[in-house]
Amino acid sequence: MQTKKIINDGNRTVDEMLEGILAAHPRHLTSAEGSPRSIIARDGPRDGKVGLVIGGGSGHEPTFLGFVGKGLADAAAIGNVFASPPPDPILECAKAASGGAGVLFMYGNYAGDVMNFDMAAEMAAMDDIEVRTVLTTDDVASAPRDQRHKRRGVAGNFFIFKAAGAACDRMLSFDECERIARKANDHTFTMGVALSPCSLPQTRRPNFEIGPDEMEIGMGIHGEPGIARGKLKTADEITDEMLDKIVDEMAPARGDKVAVLVNSLGSTPLMELYIMNRRVKRRLGDIGVSVHATWVGNYCTSLEMAGASVTLMHLDDELQTMLDHPCDCAMFRAG
Amino acid sequence: MTSIDTAGLKTMFDAIAVAIEADKDRLCQLDGVIGDADHGIAMALGFGAVRDALALLDLAATEPTALLNTAAKSFLNAVGASSGPLYATAFMRGAAAVKGKTTLAGADFIALFQAMAQGIQDRGKAEIGEKTMVDAWLPAAQAAAAAHASGKTLSESLAAALQAAERGAEATKEMIAAKGRSSRLGERSLGHMDPGAASAVTVIGAMRKSLG
């Protein structure tokens, strides 16, 4: 049986979505001339500023294009659903974002994205645009601790892009922007849980099977299987299970500060996210960690998947300053 | 004596597009087990774009290298993903391997086929045994070259390639993924065929049928 979706044509979903987004946010967003899959901030790129280009597959909205705007990313390259964009739209983003001070490519660590963005970086070099790449690897569940470089980038992207975008907006040097981007990634940890599958618009079939009373801890944002499947537990038990892993890796001292993101994978409602956040706050309080800022909602989704993720960013003064730095994007504002 | 011109290559790509389209659902299902369920979509999109782009070429005025480069660019821009750069690199390397030729003799096509497999390996940096399309493509290229070197016809050589690809794809069931999205699964990837290796068999099968 096919899943229900409000679409016209499964092959046209990305382009029709982009048309709707540009119609909704004309003050923030435009597309590059002749490259509709390159979404550019109207007020972002400028001379002397390091450009920030993000991107990846569609289906994770508001990631990636919702974070394009002044103070955050200058451009986002948009792929098909769950598929990396090809090099051409990435290259057009790099050209639009370039202010002569270098361009950072930041995206989740997936084999397809790495190949396409690397090809685009080689093409940009031929146009005399220097590109450096910082991959996001915040998904604690996706590889062991000693193989952090193999981990996926998931909802923690939001914090990592935010910190890097602020560094760029403050006109820091290319080296500094890159350093802060890497540090932001190193300080960010995410764990997710999935309750029910999503379905691609082209197939409208659930992309994995899961029992009516089951959950899967650590499932990826494309429905990649996670690390453990079990009976559905309570919100507090699920939150504890995820927090335990995150805190164990982050190893915060009493008195440390974090930023919290409780994110829906698509169809899990705010009510459930806030129930989880209540537990996050309480558990962090128990270990003497204070919460500097909290975001709750749809930040990195997986189409209509049910489930949620918890992300903590371990703050120091520098990262806190970057998170507090104002930004004005189509789907996110701060400061 | 086999001789393949640009029209023959176009017919081959058309045959691949048909075969992949027919295989789309199975490939998505294989990918759903250990990946993100879109491999069939990406492959069908890519070879559909190649078919459409080649249809616009003036074949009489196009050399094989130009046709292969057109195939590379159209596949890449339609797909992105992992299969985009991998197959685009395959076609570009194939194009470079037959540069300057107007028609391809059997040995030329074998060189093209080997360059494709090498391009896939170079772009994806995967080795044999890591549960990727390389596990089908590399043995296929080696089998084709060995068969041709021992005096077999192109058709027989591609039949040997197909057999080797099928064995390689089958062997991915016993492998633990080390590259690509399924590599995060660890031992849970055991027992499932790699979708990229499975689609490689479909591609090579269509090539053999078209050129045999």
Q: Which residues pair with B3 in a beta bridge?
A: B105
Cα B118 to chain centroid, rounded = 11
- C-alpha distances in Å from residue B24, one per residue of A287, B17, B19: 51, 10, 9
Burial of residue B190, with CB atoms counted within 10 A of its CB: 0-12 exposed, 13-18 middle, 19 or more buried: middle
- In the numeric block, which tokens belong to residue A11? 């092959």
A75-81 and A51-58 as β-strands: parallel, antiparallel, unpaired?
parallel
Q: Is B82 on the interface with A (CB under 8 A)?
A: yes
DSSP-assigned letter for residue A29: E
3-class SS at A257? strand
CATH number for domain B3-211, candidates 3.90.1640.30, 3.40.50.300, 1.25.40.340, 1.10.10.60: 1.25.40.340
Mutate to test the interface with B, among A114, A148, A224 (most CBs of B within 10 A): A224
pLDDT of residue A36: 97
| pLDDT value at B191 more than 90 | no
| Mean pLDDT estimate for chain B | 93
Domain ranges in chain B are 3-211
Q: Is A85 on the interface with B (CB under 8 A)?
A: yes
3-class SS at B3? strand
Mutate to test the interface with B, among A11, A80, A140, A198 (most CBs of B within 10 A): A80
pLDDT of residue B184: 63
Lowest mean pLDDT among A1-5, A36-40, B63-67, B144-148: A1-5
Please report the domains of chain A, with CATH numbers, ordered by start residue: 13-186 (3.40.50.10440), 188-323 (3.30.1180.20)
The reply to whether residue B85 touches residue A116, judged by beta carbons under 8 angstroms, is yes
Residue of A139, A199, A167 lying closest to A71 (CA atoms): A167
pLDDT tens-digit map of B169-184: 999 999 988 777 676 6
Lowest mean pLDDT among B66-75, B79-88, B173-182: B173-182
The reply to whether residue A116 touches residue B45, judged by beta carbons under 8 angstroms, is no
Task: Say if residues A131 and A94 touch (Cβ distance below 8 Å).
Answer: yes
Mean pLDDT in residue range B110-116: 98
Instruction: Report the C-alpha gap between B114 and A302 in whole angstroms.
Output: 38
Q: What is the pTM of this model?
A: 0.92
Q: Is B36 on the interface with A (CB under 8 A)?
A: yes
Task: Say if residues A186 and A67 touch (Cβ distance below 8 Å).
Answer: no
Catalytic residue ranges of A: 60, 222
Task: Say if residues A305 and A285 touch (Cβ distance below 8 Å).
Answer: no
CA distance B145 to chain A (A): 28
Burial A304-334 (b: 16+ CB within 10 A, else e): bbbbbbbbbbbbeeebbebbebebbbbbbeb
Instruction: Report the C-alpha gap between A85 and A32 in whole angstroms.
Output: 15
- C-alpha distances in Å from residue B86, one per residue of A109, A113, A225, A304: 17, 12, 24, 30
Close Cβ partners of A28 (under 8 Å, ≥ 6 residues apart): A41, A42, A43, A68, A69, A328, A329, A330
- C-alpha distances in Å from residue A276, one per residue of A273, A285, A298: 5, 14, 14
Close Cβ partners of A6 (under 8 Å, ≥ 6 residues apart): none
Tokens 């003497």 locate to A288
Helices B154-171 and B195-211 meet at what angle, rounded to 10?
A: 170
Mean pLDDT in residue range B151-157: 96
pLDDT of residue B190: 84
Least CB-CB distance to B36: which of A11, A202, A224? Answer: A224
Instruction: Report the C-alpha gap between B202 and B20 in whole angstroms.
Output: 7
Q: Mean pLDDT in runs of 10 for chain A (335 residues)?
A: 94 96 97 97 96 98 97 98 96 98 97 95 94 98 92 97 98 98 98 94 87 93 84 97 96 98 98 98 98 98 97 98 97 89
Instruction: Report the C-alpha gap between A151 and A60 in whole angstroms.
Output: 18
The reply to whether residue A225 touches residue B185, judged by beta carbons under 8 angstroms, is yes
Close Cβ partners of A100 (under 8 Å, ≥ 6 residues apart): A47, A48
Residue of A36, A51, A41 lying closest to A89 (CA atoms): A36
Choice between A1 and B199, residue whose per-residue pLDDT is larger: B199
pLDDT tens-digit map of B23-38: 999 998 888 777 777 8
- Reading phi first (left if > 0) and then psi (alpha if -120 to 50, else beta), residue B92 is in alpha
Instruction: Report the C-alpha gap between A304 and A138 in whole angstroms.
Output: 22
